Structure 1
Amino acid sequence: MIAEVVVENAMEVRETQHAGITSLLLVRNLKEGGISPDLKTIGLCTDAARIPMSILVRPDIDNYFYEEGRRRRTLKILELYWNHGIRNITFGALHNTVMDWDLLEDAITHGFSVNINQAFDQTQDLVKNYLQLALYPMVRQVVTRGQAETAVAGESQIQQLVQLDKPSLPVVADSTGLTSDNLKPFLERSGVQGIQFGAGSRDRNGKINFSQLEGAVNVLRRHAKSKQAGENSPSRFRF
Structure 2
Amino acid sequence: MTAPLIELCVEGIDGFLAAQEAGADRVELCASLMEGGLTPSLATIRAAVKAARIPVHVIIRPRGGDFLYSEAEFDTMRADIEALRSEGVAGVVIGCLTPDGRIDEMRTKALVAAARPMSVTCHRAFDMTEDAGEALEALIRCGVDRVLTSGQRDTALEGIAILRQSVDQAGDRIVVMGCGALDANNIAAVRDATRLKELHFAALKTVQSGMAFRNLHVGMGGTEKDREYELTLTDPEAVRATIAAAKST
| TM-score clears 0.5 | yes
Superposed CA offset, 1:150-180 (max 9, x none): 111111111111122522422111141x333
- Which segment is superposed worse, 95-104 or 73-82? 73-82
1:101 aligns with 2:127: no
Name the TM-score, length of structure 2 as normaliser.
0.81
Quote the residue 2:119 is aligned against.
113
Q: Choose from 190, 194, 218 the match for 2:194.
A: 190
Structure 2 Cα separation of the partners of residues 50 and 168 of structure 1: 28
- Please give the residue correspondences for 1:1-239 in structure 2 after superposition, counting only pairs within 5 Å: 1-82=4-85, 84=87, 86=89, 88-96=91-99, 97-110=101-114, 111=116, 112-137=118-143, 139-176=144-181, 178-198=182-202, 201-205=203-207, 206-223=232-249
Pair 1:73–1:84, CA change in 2 (3 A): same
- Which segment is superposed worse, 38-47 or 181-190? 181-190
| 1:195 aligned partner, one-letter code | L
Quote the residue 2:225 is aligned against.
none
CA contact (8 A) 1:116 1:141 kept: yes
Shift, 1:32, TM fit: 1.9
- Which segment is superposed worse, 210-219 or 68-77? 68-77
CA contact (8 A) 1:2 1:172 kept: no
Structure 2 Cα separation of the partners of residues 5 and 141 of structure 1: 15
Name the TM-score, length of structure 1 as normaliser.
0.84
CA contact (8 A) 1:93 1:103 kept: yes
Superposed CA offset, 1:183-205 (max 9, x none): 2222111211221112xx21133
Shift, 1:84, TM fit: 4.4
Shift, 1:209, TM fit: 2.0
| 2:196 aligned partner, one-letter code | V
What secondary structure, in the 3-state scheme, does the structure 1 residue paired with 2:62 have?
Answer: coil
Shift, 1:136, TM fit: 4.6
- Alpha-carbon RMSD across the aligned residues, in angstroms, is 1.9
CA contact (8 A) 1:134 1:166 kept: no
**How many residues matched?**
219
Pair 1:213–1:127, CA change in 2 (3 A): same
Structure 1 Cα separation of the partners of residues 193 and 89 of structure 2: 36
Q: Which runs of 5+ in 1 are unaligned?
A: 224-239
What secondary structure, in the 3-state scheme, does the structure 2 residue paired with 1:98 have?
Answer: coil
Shift, 1:92, TM fit: 0.7
What secondary structure, in the 3-state scheme, does the structure 1 residue paired with 2:248 have?
Answer: helix
| 2:235 aligned partner, one-letter code | N
Structure 2 Cα separation of the partners of residues 173 and 8 of structure 1: 19
Q: Which runs of 5+ in 2 are unaligned?
A: 208-231
Superposed CA offset, 1:100-156 (max 9, x none): 11111111222242111000111111111112323454x221111111111111111
- Which segment is superposed worse, 202-211 or 146-155? 202-211
Shift, 1:85, TM fit: 5.2
